[in-house]
Structure 1
Amino acid sequence: MDRTDTDLIIAGGGLAGATLALALAREVPTLRVTVVETFPLSPEALPADYQPSYDARSTALAWGSRLIFDALGLWPELSRHATPIRHIHVSDRGRFGATRLHARDHHQDALGYVADNRWMGLCLMRALQDTSVRWRAPAEVLDMMPGESGVEVTIREQGEQQILTGQCLVVADGGRSGLREKLGFVTHTERYGQNALIANVTTSESHRFTAYERFTDSGPMALLPHDAPGEPGHQSALVWTLNDEALAEILALSDEGRCQRLQDRFGWRLGRFTRIGECHHYPLALTTVDAPVRSGVALVGNAAHALHPVAGQGFNLALRGLMTLVEQFRNAHEQGRSIGELSVLGAYEQHHRQDWQQTVRFSDSLIRVFGQSLPVVAAARDAGLVGLDMIPGAKRWFARQAMGTGGRKPVLSSSNRSGRKAVPNGQQNG
């Protein structure tokens, strides 16, 4: 095989790209990995003492994702600023339908966790400092062309264009970078006609480590336990679905007015809403790519699929896909094959497809079923929620989807090289 600058080029060093780089460093340490990231990296970006902010953005991590980070040796550090979800309460506002999930019923400490995005990034960066992964930052990938030994990737670094050669390019820079479209991948986007408003809130009553999924006539909302210093047990991460008109109204209100409007929609299960932090918002859509791989290039994370956030499945689905890709790269590298071969990337896509199709159906059906206001539909979904609460088999299925253990479980072998425990099939059940 001809010599190249690197073996794998990862476009994007965010949560998806950095996790992929770390997993490869752990699983395939002889594979040369280069990450191209637009944001500069410096010692100041990795403070020794991390202080969570009230307005910190967060991500819901399913139990299956915790197992993956544990296998990568990252969980002991990451868990320092991760709030466990021990109960999930799903309800239909103004109606009797509801279902409840409890970690103890599945013999686990938690169903999932809520972790600060910045903290996860810091943990990944610190772990990557002790690996051979190379970083080109600030830099960006401009284009990719097939080359004699794989791919030729054009990057811009410090205002100058350069060519990196490698076996494969992985696009991990999100769904709105434009690189995916520039490379000719065709996306399918179905807009929900709604927006997600994201903020942290404080309540007078403790969340008791409960995540609430509340479906209302104007759209679903989620409140996830997300503790911060000084307010243990009383802070939650809010995901509030609003149409354009309602979003404009909420944004025009004072913080007190926003808390009152939230109180009206959610109710009093957490007592009074006493504080709401900085509000972020973005339009909601289901975006998929029919063929996320081709010879020499693969899409991962939000570049390959973007879901409605209310079910909290997006990053967890991406993480399982990354581990499936690592598995295929490891097999190819051990066999002396190029990791950019279409057969290698096609195997990744084939193994991951069932998982993402199942997850997309689960998330999308929740939004569509609970978005209907017709009385006959409302009565049917109330019966469905009650049925989930009463029928053990149905409830276990629902729990597996929520915990991210319903799809295919990729294996991290680590080959006992680092002494870290692998995640074997059969132990990721719920």
Structure 2
Amino acid sequence: MATADYDVVIAGGGMVGASLALCLHQHSGGALRVAVVESFPLPPLSVEQPEYRPSFDARSTALSYGSAEIYRQLGLWPQLAEKLATIEAIQVSDRGHFGSVLMEKADLGWPALGYVVENAWLGNSLLRYLRLNTAVEFITPARVEAVELTASRATLTLNCGEVAESRSASLLVVADGAESGLCERLGIHRHVDDYGQTAIIANIGTEKPHGGTAYERFTADGPLAMLPLTPDVSGMSRSALVWTFAEDRADEAMAWSEEEFLRRLQEAFGYRLGHLRKLGQRACFPLTLSCADEQIRRRLVVMGNAAHALHPVAGQGFNLALRDADSLAKILAKARQSGKDIGDLAVLKSYLNAQQGDQRLTTLFSDRVTKIFSNRQPLLSLARNLGLLVLDVSAPLKSRFTARAAGIVNGRGGDAANG
């Protein structure tokens, strides 16, 4: 029987796919042959670190404390840390009501509760590290058009421009996003819970520095988050806004002038950051909780937003995907070392069994927080605010809530992926 071209092929070279490639390389000591298929061409690689000038409108991702520990173990953290905003506290409040809770890094004795990184910096750092320090192969620009899963391998038909190529792997990982065309072609269905909400995202320039505080505010329109960012090139303090609206109000909010948008945001958010001075480019997208009905088959794993796409306000989606990637890579590396077939269903079931508890709790946490704080019924509002008060004065409850929000499973940081 001929050997497959690769041990693992990852369909999708975004932040999840690239992170998985790094996990596979590091945890196997380079023993696993890994390829990444990505539809966008890679930029030329220079040995010198290119100058990075952050745009005011750059999109960003919140990295939990647990995710930071994973990147530290992978060796990527020193480069990432150059362009990070630290989350030192999280304030949760309910507009117009008395309940609130302040979670601080001192509650758990950590250096930070999390970090916010611009997507371009995280993505470029991952790709640069992989290309300079590993043997991971990038097949780009290309996409997986068809897959045949057999007892011995996954055979892939790649569209490389006008040329069709065939490659084989012991395992295919699908990480091509929430609207995964590959999952659709494989007949993997999704369960979708529509929140009836639309998120508007933008960066906001503020009068006062954020001081490392992230804000979760629940308003009459829906949950609102303001996450700390590094200053822009002019030195203006920035925060990343995620503001949810009912579907029938989102178009109206997108049409507001900059002055009107900032006025209404100021009214909803308050003056914790002083006057809101600048509004970046706005983007909007409908919000759903979307989970694939299957995450594994023989020779196949579905990962990232293709496996579970969560509401963005709780900031759990990418962090859960990174814990999945770290766990899968450790299990595959151990299987390879033991002489097992890494595409065997029993090996992949051990991964799913290891992660299902974390996935279930994280999905439930994100979903319940969203639904509870989107409901404006008076009795529920009272109960919600009493709950926030209890959480604020109960150190054990606050620590557990903070740990879950920070991506720590069973009290473990770097080992969170195995929780």
TM-score, scaled to structure 1? 0.93
Contact 2:232 2:238 survives alignment (8 Å): no
Counterpart CA distance in 1 for 2:88 and 2:412 is: 22
- Structure 2 partner of 1:151: 154
Q: Please give the residue correspondences for 1:186-265 in structure 2 after superposition, counting only pairs within 5 Å.
A: 186-230=189-233, 232=235, 234-265=237-268
Contact 1:141 1:155 survives alignment (8 Å): yes
Q: Does 1:88 pair with 2:90?
A: yes
Deviation at 1:125, TM superposition (A): 1.0
Q: Please give the residue correspondences for 1:339-354 in structure 2 after superposition, counting only pairs within 5 Å.
A: 339-354=342-357
TM-score, scaled to structure 2? 0.95
Deviation at 1:86, TM superposition (A): 0.2
Q: Does 1:20 pair with 2:20?
A: yes
Deviation at 1:105, TM superposition (A): 2.4
Deviation at 1:236, TM superposition (A): 0.2
**What is the aligned-residue identity percentage?**
42
Q: 1:135 aligned to 130, 138, 146, which one?
A: 138
Deviation at 1:2, TM superposition (A): 3.5
Deviation at 1:361, TM superposition (A): 0.7
Instruction: Figure out how many residues of one structure are paired with residues of the other and give that number.
Output: 416
Counterpart CA distance in 2 for 1:2 and 1:350 is: 31
Matched residue type, 1:364: D
Contact 1:209 1:233 survives alignment (8 Å): no
Contact 2:36 2:139 survives alignment (8 Å): yes
Q: Please give the residue correspondences for 1:32-43 in structure 2 after superposition, counting only pairs within 5 Å.
A: 32-43=33-44
| SS of equivalent to 2:224 | strand
Deviations 1:277-321 (A, max 9, x none): 011111000011232101010001101000000000000000000
Instruction: Judge which range, 224-233 or 328-337, deviates more.
Output: 224-233
Deviation at 1:108, TM superposition (A): 1.6
Q: Please give the residue correspondences for 1:358-369 in structure 2 after superposition, counting only pairs within 5 Å.
A: 358-369=361-372
| SS of equivalent to 1:310 | coil
- Structure 2 partner of 1:104: 106
- Structure 2 partner of 1:419: none
Q: 1:264 to 1:45 in 2, by over 3 A?
A: farther
Contact 1:99 1:385 survives alignment (8 Å): yes
Counterpart CA distance in 2 for 1:403 and 1:293 is: 27
Deviations 1:9-48 (A, max 9, x none): 1000000000111111112111111110000013179961
For structure 2, which runs of at least 5 residues remain unmatched after alignment?
A: none
- Structure 1 partner of 2:318: 315
Q: 1:152 to 1:265 in 2, by over 3 A?
A: same
| SS of equivalent to 1:164 | strand
Instruction: Judge which range, 50-59 or 254-263, deviates more.
Output: 254-263
Counterpart CA distance in 2 for 1:153 and 1:36 is: 11
Contact 2:205 2:279 survives alignment (8 Å): yes
Counterpart CA distance in 2 for 1:190 and 1:357 is: 15
Q: Does 1:378 pair with 2:343?
A: no
Contact 1:208 1:233 survives alignment (8 Å): no
Contact 2:403 2:411 survives alignment (8 Å): no
Counterpart CA distance in 2 for 1:22 and 1:400 is: 25
Q: 1:175 aligned to 166, 175, 178, which one?
A: 178
- Structure 2 partner of 1:69: 71
Deviation at 1:390, TM superposition (A): 0.7
Counterpart CA distance in 1 for 2:416 and 2:361 is: 19
Counterpart CA distance in 2 for 1:153 and 1:405 is: 36
Counterpart CA distance in 2 for 1:34 and 1:144 is: 15
Counterpart CA distance in 2 for 1:226 and 1:246 is: 27
Counterpart CA distance in 1 for 2:107 and 2:381 is: 28
Q: Does 1:290 pair with 2:293?
A: yes
- Structure 2 partner of 1:303: 306
- Structure 2 partner of 1:116: 118
Q: 1:233 to 1:407 in 2, by over 3 A?
A: farther
Q: 2:50 aligned to 48, 51, 54, which one?
A: 48
For structure 1, which runs of at least 5 residues remain unmatched after alignment?
A: 411-422
- Structure 1 partner of 2:59: 57
Contact 2:372 2:384 survives alignment (8 Å): yes
Contact 1:85 1:114 survives alignment (8 Å): yes
Q: 1:214 to 1:145 in 2, by over 3 A?
A: same
Contact 2:296 2:348 survives alignment (8 Å): yes
Matched residue type, 1:180: C
